[in-house]
């Protein structure tokens, strides 16, 4: 197998983190509302809004930056059509961690003519206000990772106050406010802190948009749009998208973090595996491999170490079978494999009821997927398999090492 060109990808940049799609299929309602709200204000000559977009604590990849940039670019397009002189300015606190650096970014995106070198904060603010007045421009300034600005020891509260309430410090010559702000934060906690530190700024926020982590169906829509744009038509199928969406969706069966960014990265990695192997189709095995890149980090070593010896033997049997065939097992077939491995390690196989309890325990902590059998199978049984994101080989090696330590018996090559 070797590297093959042109079999999978039509346009790689569609899967890049900085890519903004031509339309938002999932956050369309939020985007439409924000665009209409802000555009109406600019059309009426009444800027000065402060809008906030935020997520939930500990959640990332939920579309805050994508929504922000989409709204900004859409406003530029619509303002141009209506003859409104408007510019969208985006700055991220990570790349501009101080207020002066943020002002430098703003000035640089407005015009190279605005030179802030050696300027005080007040002089920098005045230079920006004066330029907007001279050119009759309206601007929407997006400040991403706003929580870092509020929490930064480099930013004096008075300077932050001056930035957001700029027209109190530098009144526009014609009395028309031309700057609106879009504050993008990781979660709502920063605004609670802002309320206690600087209530004048927090009270100026006219609208707050809370974004929830993506559900399975939402991640599927996002992946479908990216796949249609990034890949050749016959290079992918809905099943691979369903697997990834189910893994990352907050209501899914995998890590449930609702992170679309990680889902897109997984799709990209799967495509690269397929391309490297010379395949012209992204297969489920490529997706499984892509999800397994960091999946063992999602399997708690403490959970594995805390399992009983017989639970480990059941898990080893499933991993062994998956490595051999890749197919699910019935309860009966798994019980046979479990007996063989238990006897090798000098353990007496447990009875039917206890064996079923082991399966239920492993399923409850996410190490097994267990579903009732469908039509065409005799008797009452279950279908058992590893979650798609857990690589059988890696799991086998870890579990086998734990069993070896617990029993004191050497390794047997079952494969």
Euclidean distance between the first and final Cα of the chain, in Å? 24
Q: Enter the tokens of residue 123.
A: 């002089």
Number of domains forming the structure of the chain? 3
**The CATH number of the domain where 203 resides is what?**
3.40.50.300
Domain residue limits at 219: 214-293
For residue 217, CA distances in Å to 117, 201, 246, 386, 388 come to: 50, 37, 8, 22, 18
Domain edge (last residue) among 187, 210, 233: 210
3-state secondary structure (DSSP) of residue 142 = strand
Q: 261 and 375 share a domain?
A: no
Asked whether residue 86 is domain-assigned, the answer is yes
Q: Enter the tokens of residue 282.
A: 């992204």
Give the DSSP per-residue string, 271-292: HHHHHHTT-SS--HHHHHHHHH
Distance CA 60, CA 259 (A): 6
Asked whether residue 158 is domain-assigned, the answer is yes
For residue 15, CA distances in Å to 4, 5, 287 come to: 19, 17, 15
Domain edge (last residue) among 210, 232, 257: 210
Helix axes 309-325 and 392-407, enclosed angle (nearest 10): 150
Q: 284 and 188 share a domain?
A: no
Given the DSSP bridges, would you call strands 329-330 and 382-385 parallel, antiparallel or unpaired?
antiparallel
Tens digit of each residue's pLDDT, the chain (415 residues): 344 346 899 999 999 999 999 999 999 999 999 999 999 999 998 889 999 999 988 888 999 999 999 999 999 999 999 999 999 999 999 877 788 899 999 999 999 999 998 899 899 999 999 999 999 999 999 999 999 888 887 788 888 899 999 998 899 999 999 999 999 998 888 999 899 888 999 999 999 999 999 999 999 999 999 999 999 999 999 999 999 999 999 998 877 889 999 999 999 999 999 999 999 999 998 998 888 765 665 666 667 888 999 999 999 999 999 888 888 999 999 999 999 999 988 899 999 999 999 999 999 888 999 988 765 555 568 899 988 768 787 788 889 888 988 887 654 444 4
| pTM as predicted | 0.74
């Amino acid at each position: 197998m070797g590297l093959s060109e042109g079999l999978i990808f039509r346009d790689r940049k569609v899967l890049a983190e900085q890519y903004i799609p031509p339309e938002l299929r999932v956050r369309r309602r939020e985007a439409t509302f924000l665009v209409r709200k802000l555009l109406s204000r600019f059309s009426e000559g009444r800027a000065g809004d402060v809008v906030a977009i935020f997520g939930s604590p500990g959640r990332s990849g939920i579309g805050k930056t994508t929504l922000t940039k989409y709204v900004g670019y859409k406003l530029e397009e619509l303002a141009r059509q209506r003859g409104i002189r408007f510019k969208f300015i985006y700055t991220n606190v990570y790349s501009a961690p101080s207020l002066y650096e943020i002002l430098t970014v703003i000035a640089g995106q407005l015009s190279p003519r605005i030179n802030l070198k050696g300027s005080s904060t007040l002089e920098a603010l005045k230079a920006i206000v004066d330029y907007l007045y001279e050119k009759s421009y309206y601007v929407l300034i997006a400040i991403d990772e706003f929580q870092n600005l509020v929490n930064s020891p480099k930013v004096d509260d008075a300077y932050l106050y001056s930035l957001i309430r700029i027209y109190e410090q530098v009144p526009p010559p014609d009395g028309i406010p031309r700057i609106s702000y879009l504050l993008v934060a990781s979660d709502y906690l920063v605004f609670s802190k802002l309320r206690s530190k600087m209530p004048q700024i927090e009270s100026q926020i006219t609208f707050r948009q809370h974004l929830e982590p993506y559900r399975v169906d939402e991640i599927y829509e996002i992946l479908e749009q990216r796949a249609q744009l990034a890949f050749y038509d016959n290079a992918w199928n809905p099943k691979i998208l369903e697997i990834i969406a189910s893994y990352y969706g907050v209501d899914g069966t995998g890590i449930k973090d609702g992170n679309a960014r990680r889902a897109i990265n997984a799709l990209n990695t799967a495509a690269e595996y397929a391309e490297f192997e010379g395949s012209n189709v992204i297969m489920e095995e490529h997706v499984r491999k892509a999800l397994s890149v960091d999946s063992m980090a999602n399997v708690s070593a403490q959970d594995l170490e805390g399992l009983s010896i017989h639970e480990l033997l059941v898990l080893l049997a499933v991993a062994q079978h998956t490595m051999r065939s890749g197919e699910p097992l019935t309860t009966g077939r798994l019980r046979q494999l479990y007996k063989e491995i238990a006897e090798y390690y000098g353990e007496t196989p447990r009875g039917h009821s206890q064996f079923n309890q082991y399966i239920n325990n492993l399923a409850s902590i996410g190490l097994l997927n267990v579903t009732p059998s469908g039509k065409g199978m005799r008797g009452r049984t279950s279908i058992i398999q590893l979650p798609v994101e857990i690589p059988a080989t890696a799991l086998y090696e870890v579990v086998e090492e734990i069993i070896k330590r617990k029993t004191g018996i050497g390794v047997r090559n079952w494969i």
